[in-house]
């Protein structure tokens, strides 16, 4: 019995250490791949949540033109092209998806007011709503409460002089509560894979 409690204590200690380490890495996660200029830049949609409690800007370079990347972002959604992330992890959290490996024309007509599902059940978690769309440049998704935006998710395609494109993803959220902080490391893991998934598909 003494050995059992010792093992439990070690595992608990390792678990606490892992959590502390993940939260210590949050500043790095919140600016993953982004330059100082991209973090300081203003993007369409920032004004929808002017004073966020949670804020991050992440970026990745893609060897493709904006018009070659944009269609992959347009068809994001559990009921469309998936999220290009870890399907095994999505299945683990009861959010199974199938990631598209080609552009589907029937999913390309994204418009303001459309819903973008994170899971097959649009209520768990609540589906995002399209707030802004600018062809080959910007897509802004978000959540509203009492007709005010409380969270926005910005996808920006910034062409570079060398023919590559920077995919700059930003989140601004006014959400309060420990739950939103607790899920941030997991959200980063999924987001990082999604960014890589978009890159891999656009560069094919």
50-75 tens-digit pLDDT: 999 999 999 999 999 999 999 999 99
Q: Indicate whether 53 belongs to any domain.
A: yes
Asked if residue 14 has pLDDT above 70, the reply is no
Show the beta-strand stretches assigned E in 112-159: 115-116, 128-134, 138-145, 148-159
Question: Quick check: helix, strand or coil at residue 179?
Answer: helix
Provide mean pLDDT across the span 38-44: 96
Q: Indicate whether 24 belongs to any domain.
A: no
Q: Indicate whether 101 belongs to any domain.
A: yes
Q: Indicate whether 63 belongs to any domain.
A: yes
- Give this prediction's pTM: 0.85
Residue 183's CATH number: 3.30.530.20
Q: What is the pLDDT of residue 17?
A: 44
Within 8 A by CB and 6+ apart from 24, the residues are: none
Q: Binning pLDDT at 50, 70 and 90, where does residue 92 land?
A: confident
Q: Indicate whether 8 belongs to any domain.
A: no
Q: Indicate whether 104 belongs to any domain.
A: yes
User: For the chain, what is the mean pLDDT?
Assistant: 88
Q: Indicate whether 1 belongs to any domain.
A: no
Q: Indicate whether 197 belongs to any domain.
A: yes
Q: What is the pLDDT of residue 178?
A: 76
Asked if residue 8 has pLDDT above 50, the reply is no
Query: What range does the domain containing 180 cover?
Result: 31-203
150-182 residue pLDDT tens? 999 999 999 999 999 999 999 999 988 777 777
75-90 residue pLDDT tens? 999 999 999 999 888 8
Q: Binning pLDDT at 50, 70 and 90, where does residue 33 land?
A: very high
Q: How many helices (H) and strands (E) does the chain have?
A: 7, 6
Q: Rounded to whole angstroms, how far apart are CA atoms 176 and 73?
A: 28
pLDDT > 70: percent of the chain: 88
What's the total number of domains in the chain? 1
Q: Radius of gyration (Cα) for the chain, nearest Å?
A: 18
Higher pLDDT, 101 or 16: 101
Show the beta-strand stretches assigned E in 42-87: 54-62
Q: What is the pLDDT of residue 180?
A: 74
Q: Binning pLDDT at 50, 70 and 90, where does residue 1 land?
A: low
């Amino acid at each position: 019995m003494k050995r059992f409690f010792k093992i439990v204590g070690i595992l608990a200690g390792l678990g606490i250490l892992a959590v502390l380490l993940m939260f210590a890495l949050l500043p790095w996660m919140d600016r993953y791949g982004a330059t100082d200029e991209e973090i300081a830049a203003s993007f369409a949609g920032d004004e929808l949540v002017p004073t966020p409690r949670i804020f991050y800007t992440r970026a990745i370079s893609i060897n493709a033109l904006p018009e070659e990347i944009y269609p992959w972002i347009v068809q994001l959604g559990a009921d469309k092209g998936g999220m290009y992330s870890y399907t095994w992890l999505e299945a683990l959290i009861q959010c199974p998806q199938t990631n598209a490996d080609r552009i589907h024309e029937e999913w390309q007509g994204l418009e303001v007011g459309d819903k973008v599902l994170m899971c097959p059940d649009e209520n768990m978690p609540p589906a995002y709503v399209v707030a802004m769309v600018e062809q080959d440049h910007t897509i802004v998704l978000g959540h509203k409460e009492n007709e005010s935006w409380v969270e926005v998710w910005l996808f920006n395609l910034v062409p570079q002089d060398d023919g590559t494109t920077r995919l700059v993803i930003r989140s601004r959220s006014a959400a309060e509560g420990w739950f939103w902080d607790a899920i941030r490391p997991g959200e980063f893991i999924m987001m990082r894979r999604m960014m890589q998934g978009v890159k891999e598909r656009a560069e094919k």
